[in-house]
Amino acid sequence: MIGSDSSRPGLIAGPADHGFTLLEVLVAVAVLAVAMGAIIASGGRYADRASDLRVKTLALWVAHNRLAEIEMTPSWPQTGTSSDDVEMGGRKWTWHVKVSATPDPTLRRVDVRVTPQGQDADNQASLTAFLSAYGRQRTPQ
């Protein structure tokens, strides 16, 4: 029986009038595809940043450890540069230390820079400290 639907004037109600049209379904699928693409891209960026944060945290730990080793040495550090490789967190790191004189003869500036082996310098950590001569054995230079 074909009749007029009072909620939609001018349309003829029939058995096919219930549900979505193909165009409506395609638009909904397209909107979902765009949203899912954005969610997946965001998840990928989050994973990259979490990995970078882990690398930088480990690099800082290596730098702090090297600086602590220098601070624990009873002798006065000589000016100059040194470097070595160390392993921490399942990867290899290279540290570079530069000891510089300061205008105050009882202080030394110590710069520690750490980079992961096989990666660019973007994933590096740097620390600077000033060491006092008090309580240390000073050697002539």
Give 56-100 pLDDT, tens digit per residue. 899 999 999 999 999 998 888 899 999 999 999 899 999 999 999
Query: Does residue 139 belong to any structural domain of this protein?
Result: no
Query: Does residue 140 belong to any structural domain of this protein?
Result: no
The count of structural domains within the chain is: 1
Query: Does residue 98 belong to any structural domain of this protein?
Result: yes
Query: Does residue 10 belong to any structural domain of this protein?
Result: no
Query: Does residue 2 belong to any structural domain of this protein?
Result: no
pLDDT bucket at 20, cuts 50 / 70 / 90: confident
Cα(129)–Cα(23) distance, integer angstroms: 67
pLDDT recorded at residue 111: 96
Sheet architecture: strand order including 107-116? 80-88, 91-101, 107-116, 125-132
Rounded to two decimals, the pTM is: 0.66
Quickly tell me which residue has 């230079």 as its tokens.
141
Query: Does residue 48 belong to any structural domain of this protein?
Result: yes
Which amino acid type is present at position 49? R
Which of residues 9 and 5 earns the better pLDDT score? 9
Look up the domain containing 43 and give its range.
Answer: 18-132
Specify the CATH number for the domain of residue 23.
Answer: 3.30.1300.30
pLDDT averaged over every residue in the chain: 84
